[in-house]
Amino acid sequence: MSRIKEFNLPDLGEGLTEGEILAWLVKVGDTIELNQPIVEVETAKAAVEIPAKWAGQVQAIFHPEGSTVEVGTPIIAIDTDPGAGPVEQSTTGAPTTDLPAPSAASLAAVEVAPTEGAVEPGLIGGPAPGGRTAVLVGYGPRTTAAKRRPRKDTTPAAAAPAAPMPAAPVQVGPARVVPAPVQPTSVPTVNGNGRSGGPVLAKPPVRKLAKDLGVDLGMLTGSGPSGSITREDVQRAAAPAAAEPVAVTTSASSAASFGADREQRIPVKGVRKLTAENMSRSAFTAPHVTEFLTVDVTRAMKALDRLRGRREWRDVRVSPLLLVAKAVLLAVRRHPLVNSSWAGDEIVVKEYVNLGIAAATERGLIVPNIKDAGRLTLRELADAMTDLVQTAKAGKTSPADMSGGTLTITNVGVFGVDTGTPILPPGESAILAFGAVREQPWVHKGKVKPRLVTTLGLSFDHRIIDGELGSKFLRDVGDFLADPEAALLAWT
């Protein structure tokens, strides 16, 4: 069995086909142990660390950081028996410890590629693994070196054909030949790229800037790629010629450009790509309806303060979102159809609640969920939410934690937003937006007083949840937040 093992990128989730290598945790030559994390990979669902499948020494890393690799593609080679001595290398650089030796007949039939005029490996006539030449039947290897056709207008000025000059007399001395000075009849024009004739290489925004500043591009020497003229070249040329600073400032301010040099392009991949696909599919598949409810949550905030003061809760993270989650779980017990999904010819009502909590991370929006949250006590729910948020912020949420959600809460209030019209996660029938808690004037017991108020927004699939059911569910959530202690006594 071969001692060199190639580790392929595994399927890290359901239906994933590729992943982006974020960081290598090992390098070539390192000795690694079994199940040691060797690479961090971001898929369309999460960023995860992949452990080593074998112990040994890293022989090769096939893909650098930042590259996107398809599932099943080798990403690293591991020598599982580094103490057995050096590994023989083939002509291509790959370890060949267990390759069978070629027979004499096969070696006689091998045609070695010529050194001069070599063709790129893998092409017809090019070297193949083992020093062979890939030859198609009926065609021989190429024997002449390939030459690239020169680009237009790229001949340097020194190599450009000069205008015919009249013959000039020379003075012959005993030790040297000195050409006599000759006055040419005409001087070739040199453009901004240091070439004779031809167009000037400059982007349209640079040309416009030069026109506004009155700079002749043909008199400049470009400092950009391939001798192209940049904005800095134009501005340097215009600076000495500025007679009045005010006039120059006016011209420069009017020369605003709106081209690619002032744009940023962000590749759509990983979590952001999957989120975009899911939101587009959900928005145009499920008929969304959104309802809003403004609630006085002053009593709920006081209840949280009393909860934080209890001895067994002093080390627990307690936030208003905890009460919202508990309110949703209790309201689902009273209206089970809200926790369901559309399956075409039937509606699947879930007797368990995998409560999703939308989390904003550096890699985009993810929605991990707390499995079977309806069975948890309030303390267990608080601990589960704390772990969920910390794991998401660290970028360590696993694909399993983001699959199977049945109902979701998105806390837009942490950004200072009052409410919103959230889009349903695919396969779910309802999502609740929890807005910011603000002190506002509110009619309380017949008088206008400052109270803590928030706004809830419930989006639901109108194929499953009609207006009556959605309204009752939202009302029950609001009733719990208005007086959680009374609701707990009445509902449980």
Residues 303-349: pLDDT tens digits? 999 999 898 898 888 999 999 999 999 999 999 999 999 988 899 99
- pLDDT value for 353: 96
pLDDT tens digit sequence for 418-448: 999 999 999 999 999 999 999 999 999 999 9
- pLDDT value for 430: 96
The half-sphere exposure of 371 on its side-chain side, counting CA atoms within 13 A, is: 5
CB 357 within 8 Å of CB 371: no
As a CATH number, domain 194-262 is 4.10.320.10
DSSP 210-265: HHHHT--GGG----SGGG-B-HHHHHHHHSTT-S-HHHHHHHHHT----SGGG---
Pairing, β 340-342 against β 347-349: antiparallel
- pLDDT value for 14: 56
Domain with CATH 4.10.320.10 in the chain: 194-262
3-state class (DSSP) for residue 379 = helix
Q: What is the pTM of this model?
A: 0.57
Pick the CATH number of 270-491 from 3.30.1240.10, 3.40.50.300, 3.30.559.10, 3.30.70.270: 3.30.559.10
- pLDDT value for 96: 43
- pLDDT value for 67: 85
Q: Which residues are catalytic?
A: 462
- pLDDT value for 284: 80
- pLDDT value for 255: 62
Domain with CATH 2.40.50.100 in the chain: 4-91
- The low-confidence residues of the chain, meaning pLDDT below 70, are 1, 13-16, 44-45, 87-199, 240-256
- pLDDT value for 148: 47
CB 213 within 8 Å of CB 230: no
CATH architecture of 4-91: Beta Barrel (2.40)
- For residues 287 and 492, give the distance between their C-alpha atoms in angstroms, rounded to a whole number: 33
- pLDDT value for 473: 97
CB 32 within 8 Å of CB 38: yes
- For residues 166 and 388, give the distance between their C-alpha atoms in angstroms, rounded to a whole number: 86
**Closest Cα to residue 80, out of 138, 178, 6?**
6
- pLDDT value for 138: 37
Domain with CATH 3.30.559.10 in the chain: 270-491
pLDDT tens digit sequence for 28-72: 989 999 889 999 888 766 778 889 888 988 999 999 988 888 888
- pLDDT value for 241: 52
- pLDDT value for 13: 65
72 Cα distance to chain centroid: 21
DSSP state of 83: G
**Closest Cα to residue 216, out of 202, 440, 394, 490?**
202
